[in-house]
Amino acid sequence: MAESLEDDATFEESLEELEALVDRLERGQLLLDESLELFERGMKLARICNRKLSKAERKIEMLIEENGSLKTGPFMDE
């Protein structure tokens, strides 16, 4: 349930928090337990960001010219 509350944060907010966690982990000055806790939080944030990106990707539409008129169609990943 807690993860659904975190979904209320914007993609940018989640990504910013994830980047801050990575910075702390890369400094290597944490105890093992702290590192594991931050790693777990980071994995949750990564899943949230991935879900938000997937949702945005599904919403993207391309304009397709068909017989002189413009028509919307689904975004096709090449």
Given this model, what pLDDT does residue 22 score?
97
Report if pTM > 0.75: no
What CA–CA distance (Å, rounded) separates 51 from 68?
Answer: 36
Where do the domains of the chain lie? Answer: 2-74
Question: pLDDT tens digits for 2-23?
Answer: 556 567 899 999 999 999 999 9
The residue with greater pLDDT, 58 or 72, is 58
Task: Kindly indicate whether the domain formed by 2-74 is annotated with CATH number 1.10.287.
Answer: yes
- If phi > 0 it is left, if psi is from -120 to 50 it is alpha, else beta; for residue 74 that is beta
Mean pLDDT across the chain = 83
